[in-house]
Structure 1
Amino acid sequence: MTQTKTKFHFRKPNKEDGAAVWELIKGTGVLDLNSSYSYVMWCEIFSDTSIVAERDGEIVGFISGFIHPDTPNTLFIWQVAVNQSQRGQGLGTKMLFQLLRRDYQEAVHYLEATVSPSNTPSNNLFWGLSRKLDSNCVISDYISSEDFPEDGHEDELLFRIGPIQEEAVKQ
C-alpha cells in the first residue's frame, strides 16, 4: 500500500520558524543566503506578508514579502523557497495565492519581485502567476550586476504584475 502525502498547510511564520527557514534557503543552493538572524527577524516582523508551507509538520516552502513603503498598493516578494522534495507541485504559486488572499489583499493591486535572468524557475513562476491572474507582467531593469559588491552576481530584473483583480485571486 502506498502512502499518500498530506496536503500542504499554509500559515504565517513566527520567529521560532527562523532557523528552519534559514536551513530551507540554504538547502536550495541557489538563493542568496542571509544571516540566520535576518530570517528569525523576518519571520517575526514581516509575518503578515510572508508565508510558510508545511507538510507532515516540516517547513517545505517559504516566501518572504512586504508591503512596499513607497507604494503601499504593492506586495514585494523578496525570496521564494521550495524544498527540493516538493518541487514540481505548484507550491510556489499556491503560496503566492495564499498571500494574495490575506486581509490586506483589497489594498494590494500589484506584486513585484526581482529575478535574475538565469533563474528559470522564478521567471516561470512569476510569468505563470500573471497568466493565472490575467494581469499584465512588465519586466524592467532594476539592479545592475555592477551594483553588487561581489563579482558574479547577476543583474536583477523587476517583475511587476498587475493590476490584480480581487476576483482573480479568489478563484
Structure 2
Amino acid sequence: MTGKTGDVTTDRPEVADGAALWRIAKDSGTLDLNSSYSYLLWCRDFAGTSVVARAADGTPVGFVTAYLRPDRPGTLLVWQVAVDASYRGRGLAARMLDDLAARVLAEYGVTGLETTISPGNTASERLFASFARRHGATVEHEVLFEADRFPDGPHDPEVLHRIGPLSAGTAAGSASPSAA
C-alpha cells in the first residue's frame, strides 16, 4: 500500500534509503542512534513492516521501523519513528503510523501494536495515544526494561505501550491526519 498526501508519499523502504534513515534518526536528537549498517539491514529485512515518507523528489523525509514479534506474530513492535525537521508539524508521523497499520493489518493480520517510550518523551506519548484513539483501541503501559538493564551507561527506563485490539475496519476507516 502506498499513500500520497500533498507533496509526500509513503511506501516501503528500500536499501538505498538506509543512509537517509540513519541521517534522519541522527538529526532527531532524541532517538537512540543505531549503526548505519543496522538501517541498511532494516530497509532490506524489515521493509514489509516498515514505512518511509518521501518528498516529491523521492528523498526520504520520515520513517517508521517496525517488526512482527517472533513470539507474537499478530503484534507489530514499532522500533523508531522519525521525521526530518523540515517536515515536522504536518502530521506526518501519525500518517506514517496509520498507513503502516493499515498495510500490516491487511498483509499480516496484525491485531496489536507495541512500542517503548522513555519517560518524558511527551511527543511520542501523544503520537501513540492519538493513534490508539483514532483506531478505537486501548493502551496499556508497563516498564519493559528498567534503567539498570542497560549496560552502556545512563539510560532511562523503557515503558512498553501496548495498543489494541486493531481491526480491519478501524485501520481502513481511520481518518489520517493531513501530511501536507
Could you say which TM-score interval applies, normalised by the shorter chain?
over 0.9
* Amino acid corresponding to residue 27 of structure 1 in structure 2: D
**Counterpart in the other structure of 1:80:** 81
Render the CA deviation track for 1:72-124: whole Å, top value 9, x for unaligned.
Answer: 11011000001111112111110011111215536111000000011111111
- CA RMSD after TM alignment: 1.4
Partner SS, residue 53 of structure 1? strand
Provide the rounded CA distance (Å) in 2 between the counterparts of 1:51 and 1:90.
15
Q: Which has the higher contact order (CA 8 A, sep 6+)?
A: 2
Aligned counterpart in structure 1 of residue 141 of structure 2, from 139, 142, 145: 139
Q: Is the 8 A contact 1:6 1:55 kept in 2?
A: no
Q: Is 1:71–2:72 an aligned residue pair? A: yes
Provide the rounded CA distance (Å) in 2 between the counterparts of 1:68 and 1:26.
25
> What percentage of residue pairs aligned between the two structures are identical?
40
Q: How does the TM-score come out when normalised to structure 2?
A: 0.89
**Counterpart in the other structure of 2:22:** 22
Render the CA deviation track for 1:112-171: whole Å, top value 9, x for unaligned.
Answer: 000001111111111111111111000111011101113321000000000012111112
**Counterpart in the other structure of 2:159:** 157
Provide the rounded CA distance (Å) in 2 between the counterparts of 1:17 and 1:108.
25
**Counterpart in the other structure of 1:122:** 124
Partner SS, residue 88 of structure 1? coil
* Amino acid corresponding to residue 8 of structure 1 in structure 2: V
Could you tell me which runs of 5 or more consecutive residues in structure 1 were left unpaired when the two chains were aligned. none
Aligned counterpart in structure 2 of residue 109 of structure 1, from 108, 111, 116: 111
Task: Tell me whether 56-65 or 110-119 shows the greater mean CA deviation.
Answer: 56-65
Q: Is the 8 A contact 2:104 2:110 kept in 1?
A: no
Partner SS, residue 150 of structure 1? coil
Q: Is the 8 A contact 2:105 2:111 kept in 1?
A: no
| Paired residues, number | 167
Partner SS, residue 71 of structure 2? coil
* Amino acid corresponding to residue 47 of structure 1 in structure 2: A
Q: How does the TM-score come out when normalised to structure 1?
A: 0.93
